[in-house]
Structure 1
Amino acid sequence: MIRVLLLEDNRTLNKRIVDILNGWDFVETVYSALSVSEFDRMVDRDNIDIFLSDLGLPDGCGADCIQTFCDKHPNGRAIIISSNTDGGRILEGIQKGAIGYIFKNDTSFEIIAAIKIALRGESPISPAIAHFMIKHLMALSEAEAEAEAEAEAEAEAEAEAEAAHTVETQATPLVENPLTPREHEVLVAISKGLTYVETASVLGMSKNTVPVHIRNIFVKLQASNRSEAVYEAQVMGIL
C-alpha cells in the first residue's frame, strides 16, 4: 500500500486524479493540495511514497515543490503531472528531482502504470511528451555547438592578433614560449587554482573561450590535464 500526495490547482483535474488514485486498491491514502501553501502543510506527513506535481501554480513553483518533497522524502518518487510542454520547465522539474513526466489528460491506466514504473525506480515518460523533449534537447545542442564555434573563432582571432603583436614587439624572445600571451595568462590563472568561470572573469573573456585556450595549451605543452600543463610549463621555465 502506498501514500500519494497530489499538487494540482485545477479543482476539476484534481478531483479526477484523486478519484483515479482512490480507485486503485494499492493506494492507502491520497493527500490533495490545490496550492503551494496547502502542499507546505502536507509535505511533512510521514511515508509519502509518490508525489504528483503540477508545474504552473498560481502561488509558487512546482519545480521548487518537487525539490522540497525530494529533500524531505529521499525514498519517495516525484513525477511531474502537467499539460505544460515547455521543455525548459520540464527539465527544471527533472533537475529538481522528478523522475518522470505524465500528462494530466492521460487515462487512469496510464497514470497508474506510470506510478508503477516509478515505484520500480524507473522513469515514466508519457509518449506524448517525448517529441517536445527531443526538440528542446536538440535546440540546446545546437545552441551549445554555436557557442563553442564562436568561442573557437574568438580564441583563434585573439591568438592571431597576439602572435602578430609579439612578432612586432619582441623579435628575440628571452624564453622560447609556444603559448600566445593570452594562453599564457590563462595558464597562469589555472595554475593558481582558478576555475574556468573565475578565469574568464579575471581575464575579461567569455566563459566559452577559456576551454578553447585550455585545449590549445594542452596540445602545445603535450599535457593531458591541468597539473601536467603546469608542470611542463615550469620545466620549460615559462611559468
Structure 2
Amino acid sequence: MIRIVVVEDDPVTLGRIERYLARPDDMEVVATAANVAQGLPLVAAGGYDVLLCDLGLPDGSGIDLIRASSSTHPDADIIVITIFAEQSKVLSSIKAGARGYLLKDENLDGCADRIREVRGGGSPISPIIARQLLRQLAPTAAIDEPDIALTPRETEVLNLLARGFSYGEIADILHLSAQTIGTHVKNLYRKLEVRSRAEAVFEASSRGIISLQ
C-alpha cells in the first residue's frame, strides 16, 4: 500500500485529488494539510511514501516542506502539484528534492499513475516543464528560440488568464463575447505550442512575455 500525504490549500483541488486516489486499491491518503504550518508536523511524523505538495501556500512556500521531507525521509518520493509554475520555482523545488512536477490543470485523474511511476524510480514531469528545464540546462550559445508575436489583445487575454479569471469573466472585463475570448485563447495556445492555461502561463512567463510578479 502506497501511503500519501497531500499538502494543498485549495479545498476543491484537494477534494479532487482525494477522490482520484480513493479509487486504486494500492494507495491511500493518510493525511492532508492546507498550509506550511500544518504540513511541517506531518512531515516530521513521517509514515508516508509519497508527498504531494503545492508550492504556493498561504503561509509560505511548499519548497520548505519539500526540503524538510527530503532531509528527514529520503526514501519518500515528492511530487509537486501546482497551478502556474515559474521556472525558478521548478528548479528550486527539484534542487530541494522533488522528483516529479505536475500542473494542476492537467488531468488529475492520472495522478495515481504518476505516483506509481515515481515509486518505480521514474520522474513524472509535465512536458512543458521538461522543455523549459532543457532550455535552462542547454548552453547559451545553443539556444535559438523564435520570437513569439502576440497581438496586444492576445497579451491582454493572457495576462488575465494568468490572474485566474475564467473565460466568461475575461469576456466581461474586455467587453467581448465568450466565443471571441475562446478564439484568442486557441490562438495563444497555437503560438505558444501549449495545450492548457497553466502551460501557456508557464511558457509565457519563462520567455518574459508576461510577468507573474
Alpha-carbon distance change, 17 to 29 in structure 1, aligned in 2, over 3 angstroms: closer
| Corresponding residue of 1:78 | 78
Distance 2:112 2:95 in 1: 23
Q: Match for residue 154 of structure 2? A: none
- TM-superposition CA deviations, 1:211-237 (whole Å, max 9, x none): xxxxxxxxxxxxxxxxxxxxxxxxxxx
Query: Which structure has the higher relative contact order (CA within 8 Å, separation 6+)?
Result: 2
The aligned residue for residue 142 of structure 1 is: 140
Matches within 5 A, 1:149-164: none
Q: CA offsets per residue over residues 149-200 of structure 1, 9 Å max, x none?
A: xxxxxxxxxxxxxxxxxxxxxxxxxxxxxxxxxxxxxxxxxxxxxxxxxxxx
String of CA shifts for 1:63-109, please: whole Å, max 9, x gaps.
11101011121110011111122111111000000011111123244
Question: Secondary structure, in 3 states, of the residue corresponding to 2:31?
Answer: strand
For this pair of structures, how many residues does the alignment match? 142
Aligned CA-pair RMSD = 2.0
What does 1:1-239 correspond to in 2, within 5 Å? 1-138=1-138, 141-142=139-140
Structure 2 residue ranges without an equivalent (≥5): 144-213
Gaps of 5+ in 1: 146-239
In the alignment, which residue of structure 1 is the partner of 2:209? Answer: none
Distance in 2 (alpha carbons) for counterparts of 1:46 and 1:5: 9
- Give SS of 1:13's match: helix
Q: Is the 8 A contact 1:18 1:32 kept in 2?
A: no
Task: Give the Cα separation in 1 of the matches to 2:17 and 2:105.
Answer: 9
Query: What is the alpha-carbon distance in structure 1 between the residues aligned to residue 121 and residue 72 of structure 2?
Result: 18
Give the whole-Å Cα distance in 2 for the aligned partners of 1:83 and 1:29. Answer: 21
| Structure 1 CA distance for aligned equivalents of residues 87 and 107 of structure 2 | 22
**What is the CA deviation profile of residues 10-36 of structure 1, one whole-angstrom value per residue up to 9, with x for unaligned ones?**
111111111111222111333111100
Asked if 1 retains the 8 angstrom alpha-carbon contact of 2:2 and 2:49, the reply is yes
Relative to structure 2, which stretch is displaced further, 95-104 or 16-25?
16-25
Specify the alignment match of 2:195 in structure 1: none
> Partners in 2 of 1:125 and 1:86 — Cα distance?
14
* Distance in 1, Cα, partners of 2:106 & 2:27: 18
Aligned to 1:219: none
Q: Percent identity?
A: 34
In the TM superposition, what is the alpha-carbon distance from 1:128 to its structure 2 partner?
A: 3.6
Structure 1: distance between partners of 2:128 and 2:19: 23
Q: Distance in 1 between matches of 2:132 and 2:17?
A: 24
Equivalent position of 1:220 in the other structure: none
Query: Per the alignment, do residues 61 and 108 of structure 1 end up closer, same or farther by CA in structure 2, a change over 3 Å counting?
Result: closer
In the alignment, the residues of structure 1 paired with residue 3 and residue 45 of structure 2 have an alpha-carbon distance, to the nearest angstrom, of 10
